């Protein structure tokens, strides 16, 4: 894991190429604190901040081929680099290092842009092909590693984080109202759009070429599902064994490192699976880490300790309090570089700090299992709602809603008419492509009532659902209901929030690399083609995973219902230990200055939350959304923020 940055074209402003690259890479130096490097050709610059994990002694970047005609700066890991290097040597390529970075260089020499088809990994890289005067950017299939780009006059620039682009003279970031609308609908902007106007994000599974002043973006991989009623004919026992073997191999590959590899252990099924696979199929010493909470509503330490005892891991945890969340939010937003609607990233930032303080740079985690194997309640919810839609007048069918979200005490305490009204969204149109997600998205969209008149005017003709509908794959309508719901979750929330705001950004804030066996593209492709009945058996989520992995886990863990990772929200920002920034960011003057939200509406929300009367998801998401957007605006937008960045660069 590292940070990458660079440009093609004239150097903006009056800086030298060296100074510009140094500014850019310093801005994301937290991603690679071990060493830095730059490469400059006429009209081209590449920069790299290294977190050394593979080939510690000779894996420095940017790295070139033998004659210096091809250069690469690379963030991430190519997990099958050993096998690829052997194949490349057999065709005559000579290697000077033992790094996965050099595999990218020679693979590009051999296969040009098609080289990505061979890579099993999490990556974002930039290749400068000096003979063709062409820059190539690529991002991994699932969107684990980020890369952003923008055009500044005649100069094209890219970086792992927007902070590096903001270090370029003349860049003055602005909030994009459309992206804000998308965030307050889907929890994140839809790539390539970002929260900043003029800054684009390369979507997962895409490549970009920049040549002769022109940008060309193409998709090289996409999520695929069987046509409705055309799933792979396979028995449960065979599917369980094949899934098991794929996960074993995905885990084996992700243990490749020249530094120790630890594991996150939440207490849920997914992280328990990855931890058990490390213990049962490798000789690696197993070090595990977890986060705990004061409140039993969020804390899973009982299950964490049960698995620690069962597997005999060396374990430690860090307690995250409400005060910690309130204290950490400004850092969270500085690293996330986007508004968030939940505080869940903050404990994960604290956990990555704990991991790093214990001498680890790499951790295995269970992200992706819920998306590809139907683990979330939203999949069960959609199944119940479809059943209900078949007989909307039935008084019995909507009572199944009580089987949803058992961990949400507030929701379970609501009267039946409330539940029926909430989950009824779209019930009269089960053929709607967004049927599965309409209750969630409509609830989130109500937060837009907080927008200022200026923002409302800017998005008056925009409809986020219509926009998304126009971006769906042509074959979407041919997929079954569960596949459609999984696609929406896997293509939107997973890369836009789970792997970004909760994943890469929070881990890399302390230079920790997360690795995700469930997101090995072979596992994803296999899971996607399985029949829905093997993933969601009745209302039993991740059925096939439980069958495949029950031999390795205590029964209480293997059969434990899904409890999503959550943390305290609005309550974290009020009380005796209220951070000073909270009152400042939510003051009438600050709200008026940013211009994003309606002053009286925010004042009413703050009064309600401060009095401890925040009710349900809506108030909590609203408070966190407003506060995080305010923090983002104050730290990254406008002349004042740019001046602060320049002072920081000068001081550095």
| Residues acting as catalytic residues | 2
Distance CA(388)–CA(401), nearest Å, equals 10
Query: Which tokens in the block code for residue 233?
Result: 């004919």
Distance CA(472)–CA(492), nearest Å, equals 11
Query: Which tokens in the block code for residue 1?
Result: 């894991």
Q: How many CA atoms lie within 13 A of 116 on its CB side?
A: 25
Query: Which tokens in the block code for residue 264?
Result: 């996150």
Residue 26: φ, ψ to 5° = -65, -35
Nearest CA-CA partner of 270 in 245, 297, 303 = 303
**Are 124 and 145 in contact, with CB atoms under 8 Å apart?**
yes
Nearest CA-CA partner of 332 in 572, 56, 611 = 572
The DSSP call for residue 560 is P
DSSP letter for each residue of 92-141: T---SS--HHHHHHHHHHHHGGGGGGG--EEEEEEEEETTTTEEEEEE-T
3-state secondary structure 19-67: HHHHHHHHHCHHHCCCEEEEEEECCEEEEEEECCCCCCCCCCCCEECCC
**Cross-strand bridge partners of residue 214:** 211
The Cβ of residue 4 has, within 10 Å, a number of other Cβ atoms equal to: 32
Distance CA(234)–CA(304), nearest Å, equals 34
DSSP letter for each residue of 388-446: HHTSTT-SSGGGGGGGS-TT-HHHHTS-HHHHHHHHTTTTT-TT-TTGGGHHHHHHHHG
**Are 594 and 638 in contact, with CB atoms under 8 Å apart?**
no
The DSSP call for residue 476 is G
Q: Which residues contact 343 (CB under 8 A, 6 or more apart)?
A: 325, 329, 567, 568, 569, 572, 624
What CA dihedral angle connects 512, 513, 519 and 522, to 10 degrees?
Answer: -160
Distance CA(504)–CA(338), nearest Å, equals 13
Query: ω into residue 192 within 30 of 0, thus cis?
Result: yes
- Give start and end residues of each alpha helix (H) in 263-376: 269-281, 301-311, 322-336, 345-357, 369-372
As a whole number of Å, the CA-based R_g of the chain is 24
C-alpha of 424 from chain center? 30
Query: ω into residue 62 within 30 of 0, thus cis?
Result: yes
Return the SS3 of 217.
strand
Return the SS3 of 498.
helix
């Amino acid at each position: 894991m590292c940070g990458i940055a660079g440009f093609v074209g004239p150097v903006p402003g009056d800086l030298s190429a060296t100074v510009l690259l140094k500014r850019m890479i310093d801005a994301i130096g937290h991603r690679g604190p071990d060493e830095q490097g730059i490469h400059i050709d006429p009209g081209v610059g590449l920069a790299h901040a290294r977190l050394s994990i593979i080939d510690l002694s000779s894996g420095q970047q940017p790295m070139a081929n033998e004659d210096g005609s091809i250069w690469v700066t690379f963030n991430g890991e190519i997990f099958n680099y050993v096998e690829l290097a052997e194949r490349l040597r057999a065709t005559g390529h000579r290697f000077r290092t033992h790094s996965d970075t050099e595999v990218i260089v020679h693979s590009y020499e051999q296969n040009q842009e098609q080289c990505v088809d061979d890579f099993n990994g999490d990556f974002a890289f930039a290749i400068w092909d000096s003979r063709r005067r062409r820059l190539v950017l690529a991002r991994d299939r699932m969107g684990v590693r980020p890369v952003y780009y923008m055009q500044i006059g005649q100069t094209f620039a890219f970086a792992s984080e927007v902070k590096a682009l903001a270090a370029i003279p003349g860049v003055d970031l602005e909030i994009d109202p459309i992206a804000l609308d998308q965030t307050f609908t889907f929890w994140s902007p839809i790539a390539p759009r970002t929260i900043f106007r003029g800054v684009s994000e390369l979507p997962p599974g895409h490549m970009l070429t920049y040549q002769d002043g022109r940008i060309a973006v193409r998709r090289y991989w996409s999520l695929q599902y069987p046509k409705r009623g055309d799933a792979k004919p396979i028995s449960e026992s065979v599917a369980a064994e094949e899934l098991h073997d794929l996960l074993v191999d995905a885990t084996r590959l992700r243990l490749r490192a020249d530094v120790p590899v630890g594991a996150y252990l939440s207490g849920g099924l997914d992280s328990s699976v990855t931890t058990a696979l490390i213990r049962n199929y490798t000789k690696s010493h197993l070090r595990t880490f977890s986060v705990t909470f004061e409140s039993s509503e969020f804390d899973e330490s009982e299950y964490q300790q049960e698995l620690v005892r069962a597997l005999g891991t060396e374990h430690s945890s860090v307690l995250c309090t409400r005060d910690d969340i309130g204290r950490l939010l400004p850092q969270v937003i500085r690293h996330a570089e986007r508004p968030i609607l939940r505080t869940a990233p903050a404990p994960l930032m604290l956990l990555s700090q704990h991991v790093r303080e214990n001498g680890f740079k790499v951790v295995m985690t269970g992200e992706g299992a819920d998306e590809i194997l139907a683990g979330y309640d939203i999949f069960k919810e959609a199944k119940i709602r479809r059943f209900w839609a078949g007989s909307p007048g039935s008084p019995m069918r909507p009572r199944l809603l009580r089987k949803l979200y058992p961990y949400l005490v507030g929701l379970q305490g609501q009267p039946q008419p409330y539940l029926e009204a909430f989950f009824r969204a779209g019930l009269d149109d089960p053929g709607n492509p967004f049927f599965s997600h309409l209750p969630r998205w409509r609830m989130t969209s109500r937060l837009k009532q907080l927008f200022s008149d200026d923002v409302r005017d800017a998005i008056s003709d925009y409809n986020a659902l219509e926009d998304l509908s126009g971006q769906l794959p042509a074959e979407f309508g041919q997929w079954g209901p569960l596949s459609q719901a999984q696609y929406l979750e896997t293509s939107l929330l997973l890369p836009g929030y789970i792997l970004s705001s909760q994943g890469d950004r929070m881990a890399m804030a302390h230079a920790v690399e997360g690795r995700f066996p469930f997101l090995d593209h072979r596992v994803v492709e296999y899971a996607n083609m399985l029949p829905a009945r093997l993933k969601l058996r009745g209302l039993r989520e991740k059925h096939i995973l439980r069958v495949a992995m029950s031999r390795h886990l205590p029964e209480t863990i293997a059969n434990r219902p899904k409890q999503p990772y959550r943390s305290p929200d609005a309550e974290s920002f009020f009380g005796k230990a209220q951070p000073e920034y909270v009152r400042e960011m939510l003051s009438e003057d600050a709200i008026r200055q940013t211009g994003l939200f309606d002053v009286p509406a925010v004042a009413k929300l703050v009064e309600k939350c401060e009095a401890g009367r925040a009710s349900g998801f809506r108030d909590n998401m609203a408070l966190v959304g407003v506060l995080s957007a305010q923090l983002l605006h104050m730290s990254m937008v406008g002349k004042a923020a740019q001046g602060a960045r320049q002072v920081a660069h000068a001081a550095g």
